[in-house]
Every structure is written in structure tokens, then in C-alpha cells.
């Protein structure tokens, strides 16, 4: 968990590659749903483009379907879920959360970072300033074309950050009570943040 631009997607990818975890990113799942051309897809796409949250009921249904398709033994990293306390409670009913990481970042740093963010359709993310791809506009992993997300404009980002501020305290409280929360400062380099995550998760990881 963390505000937009905190690096949660990047860190999830690094950790998953090293330890063989599967990432379920609700943002990536919704972006794929939004391309389907149905009425529901249009609703999802409008909400996302404005920087709003998809309803707890809908997002949980979508996520649960994805979880149910996976072998029970699969190790998962959830990126972007839960974002509300209700989602955290719903999640407890389907999987046993081992621990959570919250990456802290200031609003101004978040806005600045997101303005340089580009990603491929599979969700591999780069920053044109701090972590550019080897070849301009091309994903290093799968060779697909990189583009900026529609919701990465300043208005939508500030809206998303305001919602995040409002909702996240209760989510963190949920995991703090369960003694499953680690907090990490996200304003260090990608490598430094990654090392801190590795250190915190060493007792749990494969
Ligand atoms: P992300 O890629 O994590 O930044 O998510 C992009 C957008 O997808 C968010 O701004 C929301 O509109 C939507 N979204 C992703 N995850 C959730 C969630 N857990 N609950 C509600 N909406 C979500």
C-alpha cells in the first residue's frame, strides 16, 4: 500500500521476480476490464480517469474471482488492495494476509513522480526521469509500447491522493491492530527501498 507514485508497483515487481511471487494489481486488472467495451467497462473507465475509487463490492468481486482461479498454494503480492477498511475486512474472509507494507511519500513528491510515469499494457512501469527504459517508449521486459496512463494527469492525481489520505488511516489501523504492518519511507532510491523491504520481509519470504 502507499500513495500514487510511492513505488508500490515497482517494488512489488522487484520482490515478485526475486522470490517467485505472483502479483495481483487491482489497478492492472481494472485497466484490462475497462478495455472490454461493455457498459460496466465504460463505468470503470470513467471512475478511474477521474481518479475515483471503484465500489468496494465491485472491486472485491473482481479480485476474488482472480484469487479463486489460482492454486491455493500460490504466494501472492496484492498491489493496490485494500484501499478502504471495508476492503481489508473483505480480504480477511478470503485469504490469510501474512503482512502488509505501507510506503510513505509526500503529496508534492508523489505528483512530481507521477508526471514522469509510463507503463506498458502488461503493467511494467518506468519513470522517464528516475528509471527510464533502455529504449525510449519500449518496455524492457516484453517490448510493448509504453504510454502515460489517462489518470496520471495532475487533477486526477491530486484527487486520488486526497481520497487516499481520507481512507488509508483506517486501513493501516486494521493491520496495526493485527500486528501485520510495516511502514517504509518511499523517498529513498528504488534500490534502497527494495533493500528495506527485503530486510523487513526476510522472515516471511521464500
Ligand atoms: P493503481 O494502478 O493502483 O493506481 O489504480 C488505478 C485506479 O484503479 C485507482 O485510481 C482506482 O480508480 C482503481 N482502483 C485500483 N485499486 C482499487 C481498489 N482497491 N479499490 C477501488 N478502486 C481501485
Average pLDDT over residues 87-113: 93
Give me the half-sphere count of Cα atoms (radius 13 Å) on the Cβ side of residue 31. 16
The finding on whether 87 has its CB within 6 A of some atom of ligand 1 is yes
The finding on whether 51 has its CB within 6 A of some atom of ligand 1 is yes
How much is the pLDDT for 161?
92
| CA-closest candidate to residue 88, choices 69, 63, 66 | 63
| CA-closest candidate to residue 155, choices 113, 111, 105 | 111
How much is the pLDDT for 185?
95
d(CA 111, CA 2): 13
How much is the pLDDT for 113?
87
pLDDT tens digits along 15-69: 999 999 999 999 999 998 898 888 889 999 999 988 899 999 999 999 999 999 9
pLDDT tens digits along 169-198: 999 999 999 999 999 999 999 999 999 999
The finding on whether 26 has its CB within 6 A of some atom of ligand 1 is yes
Q: What angle do CA 140, 146, 147 make, to 5 degrees?
A: 160
Per DSSP, 73 falls in state T
Give the cell for residue 119. Answer: 507503463
How much is the pLDDT for 131?
86
User: Ligand 1 mean position to 26 CA, how many Å?
Assistant: 6
Average per-residue pLDDT for the chain: 92
User: β-strands 117-119, 22-25: how paired?
Assistant: unpaired
How much is the pLDDT for 156?
84
The finding on whether 48 has its CB within 6 A of some atom of ligand 1 is yes
User: Ligand 1 mean position to 139 CA, how many Å?
Assistant: 22
Residue 187: cis peptide before it, omega within 30 degrees of 0: no
| CA-closest candidate to residue 188, choices 115, 77, 84, 109 | 109
pLDDT tens digits along 155-170: 888 888 999 999 999 9
User: Ligand 1 mean position to 148 CA, how many Å?
Assistant: 16
User: β-strands 117-119, 100-104: how paired?
Assistant: unpaired
Model-level pTM? 0.87
Give the cell for residue 199. Answer: 530486510
Q: Whose Cα sits closest to atom 2 in ligand 1?
A: 27
Residue 206, pLDDT above cutoff 70: no
The finding on whether 160 has its CB within 6 A of some atom of ligand 1 is yes
Q: Which of 30, 79, 100, 159 is the best mutation target for the ligand 1 pocket, counting ligand atoms within 8 Å of the beta carbon and taking the most?
A: 30
Amino acid at each position: 500500500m502507499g500513495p500514487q507514485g510511492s513505488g508500490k508497483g515497482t517494488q512489488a515487481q522487484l520482490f515478485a521476480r526475486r522470490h517467485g511471487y505472483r502479483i495481483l494489481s487491482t489497478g492492472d486488472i481494472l485497466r484490462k476490464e475497462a478495455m472490454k467495451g461493455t457498459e460496466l467497462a465504460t463505468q470503470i473507465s470513467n471512475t478511474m480517469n477521474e481518479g475515483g475509487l471503484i465500489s468496494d463490492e465491485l472491486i472485491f468481486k473482481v479480485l476474488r474471482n482472480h484469487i479463486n482461479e489460482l492454486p491455493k498454494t500460490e504466494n501472492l503480492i496484492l498491489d493496490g488492495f485494500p484501499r478502504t477498511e471495508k476492503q481489508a475486512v473483505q480480504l480477511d474472509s478470503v485469504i490469510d494476509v501474512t503482512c502488509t507494507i505501507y510506503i510513505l511519500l509526500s503529496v508534492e513528491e508523489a505528483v512530481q513522480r507521477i508526471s514522469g510515469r509510463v507503463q506498458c499494457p502488461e503493467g511494467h512501469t518506468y519513470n522517464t526521469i528516475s528509471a527510464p527504459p533502455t529504449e525510449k517508449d519500449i518496455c524492457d521486459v516484453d517490448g510493448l509500447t509504453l504510454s502515460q496512463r489517462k489518470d496520471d494527469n495532475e487533477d486526477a492525481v491530486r484527487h486520488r491522493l486526497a481520497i487516499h489520505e481520507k481512507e488509508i488511516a483506517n486501513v493501516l489501523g486494521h493491520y496495526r491492530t493485527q500486528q501485520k504492518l510495516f511502514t517504509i519511507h518511499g523517498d529513498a532510491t528504488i534500490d534502497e527501498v527494495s533493500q528495506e523491504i527485503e530486510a523487513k520481509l526476510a522472515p516471511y519470504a521464500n
